[in-house]
Structures are given as structure tokens and as C-alpha cells.
Amino acid sequence: MLFDALRATRPTHGSADCFTSSAAMLSSLLLSKSAKWRQRKSFEDGERLKVSLYRTPDLTKTLQWLLPARVNEVVGVCHLKAFVFDDDVLMTGANMSSSYFTDRQDRYIWFRNSPSLANHFSSLIDVVSSYSFSLGSDEKLLPKKVFDTKDRDGFCAQMGSSVQGLMDAPPAEVNTAEKEKENEEDWDTFCFPTIQMGPLGIRQDEDCTVALLKGLPSGTLLQLASPYFNLTPDYEDVLLEVAEQNIVEILTASPKANGFYGSAGISGLIPRAYSLLEQNLYERSRHRDVALQGKDSYDLKNGLSIYEYERSGWTFHAKGLWCTLPGDIHGPSVTLVGSSNFGYRSRDRDLEAQVFLMTSNPRLRGQLKFERDALFSRAVKVNSSSFLDAERAGGYVAAKASQMVRSWL
């Protein structure tokens, strides 16, 4: 089991649980000598359970002293969301706190009987775990000898080399149904995993995403979801460029569906900051539309639109991308699923992983269409009046402040 150290040790004040943090719960229920699973006679002695907690090397002692719990997570976290069960992989952007099982909208895709994909994510978890702390039965974080967190550059170089080695390694041989079809023509669905670890200099996911967007044929319907609207300038520029010849729809959380809505202190201002960044792209898009209207190639149906998800009592955390080719009625033939929010933190600070899925299978595309339509069915299209709401008001100073801190959001 691999978790982020800062999030796992974050105090859970006010929680109905009797544990002070996720790490405390794991230590008590799973790692302690009195854990119930240890009482089963069928289990032999040995290390049957490992819990690793990754902590970003960018959290210096000074920042650790200055930043309180939860706020310190802006420096960077292990944001990977992948579950491996034998030869099955469950990809999602969701965490495992109670809200994700009750009233927080997210996505899940289950890749069944995919040993190559399972091997990849199992290896990725092993590599990151080897550069993480071990959680002890007394809730202590035990450092591993393989790295020195005091040497930030050396740590990043060593870990980056290990992850790059995983990416460069050829897929392991599997004697399963994967080998039954010898020719590519026999397959109707392909998928490949990508990794983004900015602190380590690994930007595979960003490169693949940009290449996909730039390679779309004219007339494609491109839909992108990100709960925290903070797209990097590179992504914004590419999306605006793609929107000249395609339909681009972005789905994000409304302020009330943002997970920080109603939070106490500085966290309560975060939904307003995201709204201001959203407004900035909306205005850029409108200005671009006006500039393009004089061109012969301009098509009114193309362009970039923003939608906001809002559902009473729910928050929005879904992320991903869907591509539907021109004139196709069966649904998206490409989707991305994983942990990336396509923002600054995903690009530069956090550890991320996604899966690119491409298919011509009508049934699977119908399922992707159903998933996408269900998300957009609870969304409202943004217009200029959307940003006049009192909860979004910020003025010149707030707009500038949001730009200054956006690399931390």
C-alpha cells in the first residue's frame, strides 16, 4: 500500500473516527501485533503487508516549520490513484475517504485481465515505495536506507533514474490471452500508461497529452474535465488553438461543487481563485473568437466552451478527457483516466499517472459516451454573467493574487 505521507498523517480533527489520522488507522488496524488478520492460522509469519508513505523532497525543514498540516501539501504530494488486483487494474482520480463513496463525483475504469498493465503499475508502486518511508506499528515513519532526503537534487536524480528505467524497460512476457492475438488488426482496443513527475524531470504524460491534442483531425469533439480549474498556459494555448478547428468543451466544478467550498480560513478562498482563473480563460476564448470571425475558415460551431458541474449536496472531483471523431455517433474513441488535473501541480509538483485508452469497439465507446453524458448532464454552460455572482467577486487585487499563487493551486 502506497500513500502520500503528508495526507496520511494529516490530523482528522472533528472526524467521527476514533483515529487521529489515516496513518494512525493503518497502524492500529493492519500493522499492530493485535491486528485481526494476524490471528488467522492460515497466515504464515512474515512480511505480508507493507505500507509506504511518500514525502516530497521539496518540503524543506523551513517549509515544514512554516506551513501547517494540509497547507504543506501545496508543496507536492504523491497523487497516484491506481489499484492492482492480480491481473486487474482499477484506474481512477478518486481518493479513499468516505465522501468519494457517498457524495463526491469521480470516475473509475476497470481494466480486466490486463497482466501487462498490472505489471507496470505494480512496478511503479514498488519503485515509488522504495523511495518512501515505511509506516511502523507505532505510527512512526521509518526511513529507508536507499535514499537521503537531505540531498534533494541527489534524491530526485536517483529516483528519476529508477522511474525512467521502468518506463524504458520492455514489457514483461505474459503467457495469457494477451498473446492469443498475434496481429494488431485483431485488436479493437489499445491502452498505454503515462507518468508525470515534475520534480524528477519526467513529463511523459504532458508530452503525450499535447501530442494527442495537436494531432486531432478537424471537426473532433474534445471534452476535458478538471475539478480544479488551473490549466497551465501550455494547455490553455493548445486548447485555444485546437478550438479553431474543433469543438472544445471543458467541465469543471462550480464554486459550490468545489471540495474547498465553505472551508474555514484561507482554504475557503480557493473556489474563488479557481473561478477567477476560469474567467481568465473564458475571456481569452471570447477575444479569440472575435479575432477569428473575419477568416474564411471560421466555423461558428467550433470554439471553446466551459461548463460547471453542480449537484445539490455533492462535490465534483472527476478528471479526464474524451475525443469523439468527426461524424461519429458511437461515442468517444479516446479517453484518458487517472490522477492528473492538467494544472500546475500535476505538471510540476505532484506524482501523477494516467492511462490513454483508444478503441473502435462500439460497446465500449457507448459506455464511455454514457459516462461522459452523465457528467455533463449536471453541468451548466458558463457565460459572461456567470462571473457576476457575489461569491465569485474578487476585483483587480484578487485577480492578480490568483495569478501569483496559481502554481501552488
Given phi > 0 = left and psi -120 to 50 = alpha, else beta, which region is 41? alpha
Q: Which one, of 193, 191, 203, 286, lies nearest residue 240 by Cα?
A: 286
Catalytic annotation present for 81: yes
Catalytic residue of the set 86, 138, 168, 186: 86
H/E stretch holding 109 reads strand 108-111
Longest dimension (CA), the chain: 78
H/E stretch holding 285 reads helix 270-292
**Angstrom distance (rounded) from CA 210 to CA 191:** 17
Catalytic residue of the set 4, 81, 87, 350: 81
Question: Helix, strand, coil: what percent of the chain each, to 5?
Answer: 40, 20, 40
Catalytic annotation present for 79: yes
Catalytic annotation present for 61: no
> Cell numbers at residue 278, please?
476560469
Q: Which one, of 232, 157, 243, lies nearest residue 201 by Cα?
A: 157
Question: What one-character-per-residue DSSP string does 240-279 give?
Answer: HHHTTTSEEEEEEE-GGGSTTTT-SGGGGGHHHHHHHHHH
- The residue type at 320: G
**CA 365, 79, 203 angle in degrees (round to 5)?**
75
> Cell numbers at residue 272, please?
474563488
3-state secondary structure of 356: strand
Catalytic residue of the set 4, 79, 319, 350: 79
Q: Which one, of 296, 280, 194, lies nearest residue 240 by Cα?
A: 280
Are 32 and 109 spatial neighbours (Cβ–Cβ below 8 Å)? no
41 half-sphere exposure, CB direction, 13 A CA radius: 0
- The residue type at 19: F
3-state secondary structure of 66: helix
> Cell numbers at residue 334, please?
479516446
Residues in the chain: 409
- Going from the C-alpha of 247 to that of each of 138, 267, 299, 312, the distances in angstroms are 54, 34, 10, 29
Residue positions annotated with a catalytic role: 79, 81, 86
